Copies of this chain bind each other. A is one copy, B any other.
């Protein structure tokens, strides 16, 4: 089988690609392990410095149907659709967000429909599809009331994926990812970027700005667990999801204060002093509209696993950094 990863030059796409190379196989529609022949990493810029000849970088605009047509062939039976404009970017540039987060997803679905080979598509949605006045524990049966354009685009894409699946055009699965933390690299335009910055930068001896107060609650998943969930999302037999193709992935519900306290226990008070607290009303309001805890028993029954505690999340990040 060929695998396509959109957003394949991003940190999660590359980490997923590495995990797939290590496995060498993926369970597909046959119900058996199938050998992975090729993994295409599509992104706006071609991924560089790849570790395996199995990995094929491609540069192109995901919203361009001709680009998608070139990277999806009849053997591309596994698609991981990670490409997105993050929340802050989609809020600042409405047209760009619609184009990448919604139109490109539609193009992807449409190219697969035209191809007629009914691939499995794992789509990374987000807990930002929820918002506003929510129950303390968000269910999968809770209505989607996004309070950001990013969330609205992801919610529309989920509906489209479900209908393309119902019609038999594709076999779609939407995974609502918690905030992935601790991300490596640099801060990005995601409004949740602080949830990595406040751990990552101080550990690098650099200052970090926290735009929300200590009481702000976030719902996080470590990069390693996120990759495992993406693979699990692909390998699930289609019928186990039934008509409801979206899954609230398990996460860890922690306050920013608890994250910083864990960091202090693991790395000491001088590290924590590198965090500057500068609450930003706009960010604080949007983050507060994201729910802090979810009912995830369905995801757990389906074999998705979250992290044990915040200390293990930080420790895993420290171990990865020490290796690289």
Quick check: A142 and B143 within 8 Å, CB to CB? yes
CA distance A162 to B162 in the complex (A): 20
A contact face: mostly helix, strand, loop, or mixed: loop
> Is A258's beta carbon under 8 Å from chain B?
no
Which of A12-20, A148-156, A304-312 lines the interface with chain B? A148-156
Name A140's contact: one of B143, B155, B160, B166 (CB within 8 Å).
B143
Give the docked Cα–Cα distance between A267 and B243 (Å). 42
Contact at B141–A143, with CB atoms within 8 Å?
yes
Q: How far is the CB of A306 from chain B (nearest CB, A)?
A: 22
Are A156 and B160 in contact, with the CB atoms below 8 A? Answer: yes
Contact between chains at A144 and B132 (CB < 8 Å): no
Contacts of A244 in B (CB 8 A): 132, 145
A112 to chain B, nearest CB (A): 14
Please indicate the chain B residues that have their CB under 8 angstroms from the CB of A149 in the complex: 163, 167
What is the total number of residues of chain A having a CB less than 8 Å from a CB of chain B?
A: 25
* CB under 8 Å from chain B, chain A span 123-167: 131-133, 139-147, 149, 152, 155-156, 159-160, 162-163, 166-167
- Residues of chain B within 8 A (CB-CB) of A277 are none
Which residues on B sit within 8 Å (CB–CB) of A243? Answer: 131-133, 145, 147
Residues B159 and A144 in contact, CB atoms below 8 Å apart = yes
How close is A322's CB to chain B, nearest CB, in angstroms? Answer: 43
Docked-complex contact A143 and B143, CB < 8 angstroms: yes
Tell yes or no: A94 within 8 A of B by CB: yes
Shortest distance between the CB of A174 and any CB in chain B (Å): 12
Docked CA distance A156–B155 (Å):
8
Q: Which residue of B lies closest to A155 (CB)?
A: B159
In the complex, which residues of chain B have a beta carbon less than 8 angstroms from the beta carbon of A131?
243
Chain B neighbourhood of A159, CB < 8 A:
144, 146, 152, 155-156, 159
Q: Mark A163-198, 1 if CB is under 8 A from B, else 0.
A: 100110000000000000000000000000000000
Please report the C-alpha to C-alpha distance between residue A163 and residue B98 in the assembled complex, in whole angstroms.
11
A-B contacts, 26 listed (Cβ < 8 Å):
A132-B243, A132-B244, A133-B243, A139-B143, A140-B143, A141-B142, A141-B143, A142-B143, A143-B143, A143-B144, A144-B159, A145-B243, A146-B159, A146-B162, A146-B163, A147-B166, A147-B243, A149-B167, A152-B159, A152-B160, A152-B162, A152-B163, A155-B159, A156-B156, A156-B159, A156-B160
What are the nearest 10 A-B pairs in CB distance? A152-B163, A156-B156, A141-B143, A132-B243, A152-B159, A156-B159, A143-B143, A155-B159, A149-B163, A142-B143
